[in-house]
Homo-oligomer: A and B are copies of this chain.
Amino acid sequence: MDTNLCHLCEYKCDAATRLTVEELDMLNSSCARVNFKPGEIVVKQNALSTNVVYIKTGLVKMHVTDGTKEKVMKIVKAPSYLCLPSNFSDRVNNFSATALEETSVCFFDLTVFRNFIYTNGDFAYQIITDLSTSELKNSHVLNNNTQKNTMGRIATLLLYFSKEVYSNSTFVLPVRRQELGEIAGTTRESASRILSELHNEKIIDIDGKKIIILNDKLLEQISLNG
């Protein structure tokens, strides 16, 4: 049996569960499935945004560059759409997306997807809910990045990986120190130094990219900032 059919997909997003079997078959015939390895580019900034990009499994970072500096806007965990705002506004990708782990992606035809919004109110409503949730998450990122000191931001990031991504107090960082800094809005050196500090204070254990959170309470405290 070919499990590569949209209506049999076990990674359907909330919106897709609102589609009829016929609609899912239409979606299916416009769907290209691609797997990416860590480091591979899924979406390229400034390219035309002609496909809806949906990650079924895996983890990616969304990032922008202005030519010199590289800023990681956010980490996106599957299942999730990657570029809906670009799809529906200026049709140009505002960010690049790079896989941090083995990631499986579906590319859908934008026209097919767009028609569902017109013809299936349930689907449209769910997309609106998704966009809304995503925008609020972004706001928290903004708040996190502008109101906290560097250690608070790194702490928040470690907790995010531990709780949201890996659901484990032990995990392997999917990024190197340089990128950790870019995500937290600081430098490689500062990121490294702060990990050391957290280690010295016995809040985390470090072995290369492997992190063990020893004192969750305290890390939460630091994350909320001081």
Chain A interface (Cβ within 8 Å of chain B)? 64, 66, 69, 71, 73, 84-90, 94-95, 114, 117-119, 121-122, 124-125, 127-129, 131-136, 138-139, 141-143, 145-147, 185
Asked whether B122 lies within 8 Å of A121 as measured between CB atoms, the reply is no
| Cross-chain contact B127 with A73 (CB below 8 angstroms) | no
Q: Which residues of B contact A89 (CB under 8 A)?
A: 129, 132-133, 136
Within the complex, what minimum Cβ distance (angstroms) separates A8 from chain B?
Answer: 27
Contacts of A133 in B (CB 8 A): 85, 89
User: Is there contact, CB below 8 Å, between A128 and B125?
Assistant: no
Contact between chains at B146 and A71 (CB < 8 Å):
yes
Question: Is B94 touching A136 in the complex (CB atoms < 8 A)?
Answer: yes
Nearest residue (CB) in B for A121 is B118
Given that A87-B132, A118-B124, A121-B117 are known contacts, is A146 also in contact with B147, CB under 8 Å in the complex?
no
A177 CB → nearest B CB, Å: 18
Question: Does the CB pair A146–B185 fall under 8 Å?
Answer: yes
Nearest CB of chain B from residue A123's CB, rounded to whole Å = 9
Cβ contacts under 8 Å, A66 to chain B: 147
Partner of A69, one of B90, B128, B147: B147
A-B contact pairs, 11 of them (CB 8 A): A73-B139, A84-B132, A85-B139, A88-B129, A89-B133, A118-B125, A124-B124, A124-B128, A128-B128, A134-B135, A138-B139
A124 near B134: Cβ-Cβ < 8 Å: no
CA distance A205 to B124 in the complex (A): 49
**Complex contacts, A73 vs chain B, CB 8 Å:** 139, 142-143
Query: Which residues of chain B are within 8 angstroms of A94 by Cβ–Cβ distance?
Result: 136, 139
For A90, list chain B residues within 8 Å (CB). 136
A147 contacts which chain B residues (CB < 8 A)?
Answer: 66, 69, 71, 185
A124-B128, A138-B142, A142-B145 given; 6 more Cβ-contact pairs under 8 Å: A71-B143, A88-B129, A89-B129, A124-B125, A127-B128, A135-B138
Given A145-B142, A146-B185, A147-B69, also A85-B121 (CB < 8 A): no
Complex contacts, A185 vs chain B, CB 8 Å: 146-147
In the assembly, what is the distance between CA of A114 and CA of B118, in Å? 15
